[in-house]
Structure 1
């Protein structure tokens, strides 16, 4: 498991004050996981991480775009003990309202990418919750299309979103050293290198390597959640 590489947790990061105290009525840590628009490629990652957490004592809710939940089918992914919430189609404001409502009874908000981080930032700041943001490898990261005017506009919007999310995050978990550097450049106060739960392996994949990657990723998440809950409790 990787040691923290950032500047340490800061309770006032992006909130203007200390995190709200933990409510005393719950014994299980509750985490809201969030997938944003255009982050369907992260669904297998969420399936692995969120699906493994309930057996380890974490109550999990997953919010994802309605069209993605529909593709999962009526039973949803193979999540046991996980609540899956389709986010409404429409404007970002409707997403934010739904995420805020779902964050009313959780201890940590976890966005699995910067796009999902936008509504997560609003919910976390409103309720003074710790915010974990994943910084994964994206399709097309190696060959960004920024040579056309439209491509340059999209790249500018993406940078603005990344800056907003990185600055508000309590912890950023990056897949690669390059993404770790990018998160820090965007303003992340505590950015850490985190193992990807789904390693990119040549076919046929090695089952042992896959299981090991999943276990390391889940163990790291549990450590981060525990750290944030302890911080909030103080």
Structure 2
């Protein structure tokens, strides 16, 4: 008697998309379709147009998956997912709430599809909700056939929650999300438009939400206001904290400009002397990819995947420590040689990150492993 691996037929995968991550899922789905996989994407209707799913060759089924679904909404989402997943070989859920609903949709189906969960740590919560979230995490971890964690800390955490199979699967970003613009006349024009022709330009990119730490950035900016020439700090992003942050900028006369949402981050990077990421929490931040590919020196808090992502090619500081943040930036501004070294090392580090092809190949390998059953002869 010998054992061989026999395919169960053409691979059919259902991607379940929650409130976030549509760009990654769109790119992944397109790559899988190009490799012959039959892909259905279930997710919010707003993602269908905004992330170009129609262009990838997938079937898109609108399923609204809110972060805090009401019981009726949850039941409707589960029913829609159950129908969409019928006959699938693999169901791949992206995010905790999408994974919970996918696991409910698959519950009770003997011999049904494998459930793969890509796990990005959610925002830290406290109080009663923290306990409920922990129960949800434990349920999802144990329901999944395989959990893919974005960095090693997540893999360890998920194993501790009881996951049967947890693996490291770093996220890559589509090439268009890591465009690099060379410095030159356009960069000078950008600096002039931001009022930073006569001094350093410090760039921060991210939603204006408490966990992004922009209040700490303003604390640090008080110190930079005493530097000569005076740096200009610009923040690209929009969010609920905008009014409070702008109030502080005005009241304290800080050298900070809140730019709102911007579609020209590559141009801002080409003009910047430094990028600062002051977050209290991060998963796998896009701005780190963009800054290091562009060769812009980075100062960031040592949270989430950031330390693994940057290695020794950036300056890391503790979270919630504006003094350390201010000091790190001041030292870099005073040391052109160090900035040049970090610029070069950042590009070298970025070259070690997985490409989109690497990510798709890894995911496809997992799918193949789960959808080949041993046959005896």
Q: Above 0.5 in TM-score?
A: yes
Per the TM alignment, residue 124 of structure 1 is displaced from its structure 2 partner at its CA by 2.7
Change beyond 3 A, Cα 1:95–1:209: farther
Give runs of aligned pairs for residues 221-232 of structure 1, distance below 5 A. 221-231=363-373
Structure 1 residue ranges without an equivalent (≥5): 1-21, 147-151
CA contact (8 A) 1:35 1:65 kept: yes
Which residue number in structure 1 is paired with residue 291 of structure 2?
Answer: 203
Question: Structure 1 residue 216 and structure 2 residue 358: aligned?
Answer: yes
Give runs of aligned pairs for residues 1-234 of structure 1, distance below 5 A. 27-36=9-18, 39-40=19-20, 42-69=21-48, 72=50, 76-77=52-53, 79-88=55-64, 91-127=73-109, 128-138=112-122, 140=123, 144-146=124-126, 152-198=127-173, 200-203=288-291, 205=293, 209=351, 212-231=354-373
Query: Take 1:176 and 1:211, find their aligned partners in 2: how far apart are those partners?
Result: 12
Deviations 1:141-193 (A, max 9, x none): xxx242xxxxx222222211111111011000000111111111111010000
Query: Take 1:214 and 1:187, find their aligned partners in 2: how far apart are those partners?
Result: 29
Structure 1 stretches of 4+ moved >6 Å: none
Deviations 1:93-136 (A, max 9, x none): 10000000001121111001121011211233343221101112
Query: Take 1:218 and 1:190, find their aligned partners in 2: how far apart are those partners?
Result: 19
Which residue number in structure 1 is paired with residue 337 of structure 2?
Answer: none
Query: Take 2:375 and 2:102, find their aligned partners in 1: how far apart are those partners?
Result: 21
TM-score normalised per structure 1: 0.73
TM-score normalised per structure 2: 0.47
Higher RCO, 1 or 2 (CA under 8 Å, sep at least 6)? 1
Moved more, 107-116 or 84-93: 84-93
How many residue pairs match? The answer is 196
Structure 2 residue ranges without an equivalent (≥5): 1-6, 66-71, 174-285, 295-346
Please give the root-mean-square deviation of Cα atoms over the aligned residues, in Å.
2.8
CA contact (8 A) 2:44 2:64 kept: yes
Structure with higher Rg: it is: 2
CA contact (8 A) 1:133 1:169 kept: yes
Per the TM alignment, residue 81 of structure 1 is displaced from its structure 2 partner at its CA by 1.2
Query: Take 2:46 and 2:131, find their aligned partners in 1: how far apart are those partners?
Result: 26
CA contact (8 A) 1:47 1:79 kept: no
| Secondary structure, aligned partner of 1:57 | coil
